[in-house]
Structure 1
Amino acid sequence: MTDTLHTDLLRLAREAAHRAGELLRDGRPADLAVAATKSSPIDVVTEMDLAAEKLITDLISGHRPDDGFLGEEGASSEGTSGIRWVIDPLDGTVNYLYGLPTWAVSIAAELHGETVVGVVAAPMRGETYGAVRGGGAWAADARGRERVLACRPAPPMDQALVSTGFNYVTEVRSHQAEVAARLIPKLRDIRRSGSAAVDLCDVAAGRLDGYYERGLNAWDFAAGDLIAREAGALTGGRPGERPSRDLTVAGTPGVFEPLQRLLEDFGAWHD
């Protein structure tokens, strides 16, 4: 029963992510503008974020009317089935607003609070990433050809390529910049893509050795966290904790724990 349920949830997540990705890629207006702001004037929502979330929730509700939702742009309902969909309809909104290609649709399905399915569609890359809990992780190209994902063998820390992101609240960003400045000499380099979901999938795909960020919400990391773990990466927050707004960390085994310790030493989780 559970395997059948997971298969059904994955199929629905893939369809919703694909259709939302097509809407965002093909329907982006030339005069795209900010529709609202969130945590600060530079933390923006566009009309396309809202349209993509509506498409996703309408599609899923049409198939599974008893499920709950948690969405970045306001979708929130408890549901009665034990399934909750955690949705970021457009992860990387500022990239999308500026016409940069690194953005994604992120959809996860939780069963009684545990993430069991995750899908991240990155239309401008022509890639979709996915995972089922206990079933491994995969990536599919624009033609639907799939490959198994596996994170990289761990390099020495001074050869590790790590990605991060910055908050939209000025005081938090300033502290994050200080942490990054202390971390850079310990690593090969730091990258900043602008999409947490894509960064987590890049850890899964072996394109990054590690990733960390402060201030993420569940919809930012739910799908990507599962995909990274199913590809063999380790994920967490502060030592001994799960990913949270305080801190989200992912890395290939051998990089994850040293990176996590450095971030704790540098106080990455607080001002």
Structure 2
Amino acid sequence: MSETLQSADLVFADADLLDRTVDAVRVAGSALRERFGEVVRYGTREELMRALAVNDDTALDILRPRLAAVRPEAGWVEEELDGGALPSGEWWVVDPAEGNVNHLHGLPEWAVTATLVRENEPVLTVVHLPLTGETYTALAGAGAYLDGRPLRVSETADLGLSIVATSQARPDEDGEVVRRVGSSVTAMLFDALVVRTSVPATLHLANVAAGRTDAFWQFSGARADLLPGALLVTEAGGRISDAEGRPWTLQSKSFLAAAPAVHAQAVATLSR
């Protein structure tokens, strides 16, 4: 069989797998939506972690068996704060409640995500927003979509006219990373039109892919909060790099996703 036919067969298989992933993520999202509403009170870090775990487990009890059934040979990563390269092969990188802390506080910015990674490259992703019913999807080489409608990044060419965003990768971040985040926000406040700061990263990246915002950056980070959006933005025509403009990998210490015409300007601002 020729390499061309082998590639075509793989794309077809991945496209079918994407549909099945959408189904699984939507069911998990429905379960989390039923738990959403009142602010969950906690007085200690231990109480907070238990509350977060209940949401995670609610979604994972649905996602794990469904995704394992359609790709039983793939490994499984569900720790959303883990970073770095994965071992060889295929892996499900899942965030069962992306923006979990928002969910606990009755804030609407949260999602359920699942991404299939092959040899450390994302090949398909699903990001579902249960409160709106929106589902973002991307398949490597086949584009990015919102509920079946193609996504395209912004055509903005001037950082001074751009809405940009950043996010906190994790609580209790290293002090040097915190200082770098602070200085980057200050720099962007001088150079961009508007700077948005909130969690989770995935929703900012969905906005970049949809052309609603023009750039997103983050220092540090984890696989689960960057891989879904990285594929969405790339397939929507955006540029992905680290904050210094070098190729981004899972080992990178920073991340930048931007519309092509403002990418170099964003790199210049973040590199000061």
Normalised by the shorter chain, which TM-score bucket? 0.7 to 0.9
* 1:217 equivalent in structure 2: 222
TM-score norm. by structure 2 comes to: 0.84
Alpha-carbon separation, structure 2, partners of 1:73 and 1:242? 19
C-alpha separation between the residues in 2 aligned to 1:226 and 1:74?
A: 19
User: C-alpha separation between the residues in 2 aligned to 1:8 and 1:241?
Assistant: 30
> Could you tell me how far 1:262 is from its partner in structure 2?
1.8
1:134 aligns with 2:141: yes
In structure 2, the residue matched to 1:268 is none
Farther-moved stretch of structure 1 (246-255 vs 163-172): 163-172
Change in Cα spacing, 1:35 to 1:12, as seen in structure 2 (3 Å) is: farther
Partner of 1:147: 149
What letter corresponds to residue 153 of structure 1 in structure 2?
A: E
Unmatched 5+ stretches in structure 2: 1-8
Q: 1:36 to 1:58 in 2, by over 3 A?
A: farther
Judged with a 3 Å threshold, the aligned counterparts in structure 2 of structure 1 residues 36 and 221 are, in CA distance, closer, same or farther, namely farther
Aligned partner of 1:205 in structure 2 is 210
Higher alpha-carbon deviation: 15-24 or 165-174: 165-174
Report the CA distance between 1:129 and its aligned residue.
0.4
> Which residue is equivalent to 2:99?
92
Counterpart-to-counterpart distance in 2, 1:123 and 1:16: 12
Report the Cα offset of residue 226 of structure 1. Answer: 0.4
TM-score by length of 1: 0.84
How many correspondences in the alignment? 254
Report the Cα distance in structure 2 between the residues aligned to 1:50 and 1:215, rounded to whole angstroms: 26
Q: Could you tell me how far 1:37 is from its partner in structure 2?
A: 5.7
Residue of 13, 24, 31 corresponding to 2:32: 24
CA shift, 1:209, in A, is 0.4
Counterparts of 1:1-271 in structure 2 under 5 Å?
A: 1-28=9-36, 30=38, 32=40, 45-72=52-79, 82-140=89-147, 146-167=148-169, 168-169=171-172, 171=175, 172-237=177-242, 238-244=244-250, 246-265=253-272
- Counterpart residue identity of residue 154, structure 1: T
State how far apart, in whole Å, the 2-side matches of 1:157 and 1:260 are.
11
Q: Aligned partners of 1:37, 1:61: CA distance in 2, in Å? A: 32
Q: Using a 3 Å threshold, how does the CA distance of structure 1 residues 157 and 73 change in structure 2: closer, same or farther?
A: closer
Matched to 2:144, the amino acid is A
Instruction: Identify unmatched segments of 5+ residues in structure 1.
Output: 141-145, 266-271
Higher relative contact order (CA 8 A, sep 6+): 2
2:37 touches 2:106 (CA, 8 Å); kept in 1? no
Larger relative helix fraction: 2
**Matched residue type, 1:234:** R
Q: Relative to 1, partners in 2 of residues 1:22 and 1:228: Cα closer, same or farther, differing over 3 Å?
A: same
Q: Matched residues, percent identical?
A: 27
Letter of the 2:36 partner, please give it: R
Contact persistence 2:187–2:269 (CA under 8 A)? no
**Mean Cα deviation higher: 168-177 or 86-95:** 168-177
Can you list the C-alpha shifts for 1:185-230, whole angstroms capped at 9, x where unaligned? 1000111231111111100101100000112111111111101110
Distance 1:24 1:166, change over 3 A: same
